[in-house]
Structure 1
Amino acid sequence: MTSPHAALRRWLHLIVAGTLMMAAGTATAQTSTPISAAPENSSARAYGGGWNCDAGFREIGKKCEAIRLPENAYLSGGAYGSGWDCHYGYRLENNACALIPVPANAFLDSSGTRWQCDRGYSTAGNLCAPIKVPENGYLTSSNSGIGWACDRGFRATGSKCLPINLPANAYLTNSGSGTGWTCERGYRVRGEVCDEVTLPEFAHLNSSGDGWQCNRPYRQAGARCVAP
């Protein structure tokens, strides 16, 4: 009759043997699994396994094909797209880099793909036409609009700068719209003139200076200030 200790040892031996056989089978299966070979002109990835095509090559199928670089282009290093971009002063046209025609009195902007007119010129189709600045006007730095503005004291009317008619008790403003003037404190705009603000008894000018309000403790009653 087998002792309990002998039976336990035999059972443990069977477990160990089975574990070793399973490990050996797994290793054999892993060894027999084919690993796809990295193609020419590629490098192994630093993480995650696999490979990437070298600079100047693009993955096509399972190969790394050389990127065909057109004239006036450079490798962009991007993982997607064509893998190249056009040089400054050229733009993509029909899978090639075409020279950007820059008209007289113009220059390429910072992107290198567009042009804009020099100061004193405005875009007119594919050309840069000189800006006609009227008398009492000056060139602006804006690339949009008419390209000029009127001097202080003048207002743009059509293609001219006409003097602003300043009424009595008024002063010029810096606003580019409206009449170009406003009334002094103590006066209010009425049409094209400045009317004096009439203060009733027990009143003072308001903060804007074009009206009035009652002193404390008086209250407004029509055009007067009355005691509470």
Structure 2
Amino acid sequence: MFKKIILILCLVFLPLCADASEYAKNYDADGNFLGYVYIPDNAYINFKGDGYYCNAGFVDKGNYCEKIKVPENGILRKKYNDWICEIGYKKEGDACVKVVVPQNAKLNSNGTDFICNTGYQRSGNSCVLIPQNSIYFLSEGLCPYGYKKVGYSCQQLFIPSTAHFTADGHDFECNYGYFKTESGCQKVNVPANAHLIENGTSWQCDYGYKNMGNYCLKVFIPENAYITNDDGTDWKCSYGYEEKDGRCQKIYLPPNAHFLANGKYWECNWGYKSNGSYCEKINVPSNAYLNKYNEVICTIGYYYNGRDCVKK
């Protein structure tokens, strides 16, 4: 409650607040100052400048960022701001519970359950022996787990050490971090500043790095620029700046001029006209006025000869 009161006071009397670093200025598309954006601890301002994102390992709770609680035998996934259990444990509520592997079984590829060895089939929480030749399965046109159908018979499958059976047991899939080849399973070569994607068969570069084929290159974000995409690889110059040689250079704004909405171009204020790189005052002769389009209009009874308003 006390923190909320301080927050309200700071929003009203921001210059008087001691911790002004918790706020960032917010502008609209025309460059008009809209106010201050509150940035709590363990957060940073978003690329639009109108809010914030919590740091990796923290979750947004409305007006503050709370540290993610990782249980025993859990692993924090900073990219997704959540946690998963270590291999050999499965998620139950807010805890990681050890997976019980019965006899004649092994852990599955992601380590959250068990699968029966070849020649055995799951029955509840145990693995039972499949009878040889399994007439029952063949009569139904199916082969037992760990076998594949070849003609009218079942042939036992032999899989690589870095693979596991599919759900029906009639084929195999490579373990997490490996991909399937004609000869078996090959390990995915993950370069520096990259991570495996969800299915574990390929990789992508970390936030702020760009894929260059077989390595990840850090993207340079120049001063006076902001990030425009989710993976942190694209950027644009801020309002009033333009890109030049990979940097953001301030656009010259002459006196008596203003930026257009995109902040990349300018035009002269009303009453002035462009003359190259500056704005010069429009000469309004006697018996004349400027309309809203910055045009000289003579009053009734006069006509414009290009310089003066002459009586008709």
- For residues 57-206 of structure 1, what are the structure 2 equivalents within 5 Å? 57-77=178-198, 83-93=202-212, 95-110=214-229, 111-142=231-262, 144=264, 147-164=265-282, 168=288, 171-173=291-293, 180-181=294-295
Amino acid in structure 2 at the alignment position of 1:84: W
Q: CA RMSD in A?
A: 4.2
Higher helix share: 1
Aligned-pair distance for 1:119? 2.7
Aligned-pair distance for 1:172? 0.8
> % of aligned pairs identical?
26
Contact 1:39/1:62, CA 8 A, preserved across alignment: no
Amino acid in structure 2 at the alignment position of 1:108: I
Tell me which residue corresponds to 1:53: 174
Distance 1:181 1:51, change over 3 A: farther
Q: Which runs of no fewer than 5 residues in structure 2 stay unpaired?
A: 1-137, 143-148, 308-312
Higher strand share: 2
2:176 and 2:259 map into 1 onto residues whose CA distance is: 50
Q: SS of the residue aligned with 2:223?
A: coil
Superimposed CA distance per residue, residues 69-98 of structure 1 (whole angstroms, 9 cap, x where no aligned partner) = 11111112368xx71111121112351112
1:113 and 1:29 map into 2 onto residues whose CA distance is: 50
Distance 1:45 1:91, change over 3 A: same
Superimposed CA distance per residue, residues 43-73 of structure 1 (whole angstroms, 9 cap, x where no aligned partner) = 4444795333233221122422221211111
Amino acid in structure 2 at the alignment position of 1:159: S
Higher RCO (Cα < 8 Å, 6 or more apart)? 2
Q: Which runs of no fewer than 5 residues in structure 1 stay unpaired?
A: 1-22, 174-179, 194-228
Contact 2:240/2:263, CA 8 A, preserved across alignment: no
TM-score by length of 1: 0.51
Distance 1:169 1:142, change over 3 A: closer
2:153 and 2:216 map into 1 onto residues whose CA distance is: 50
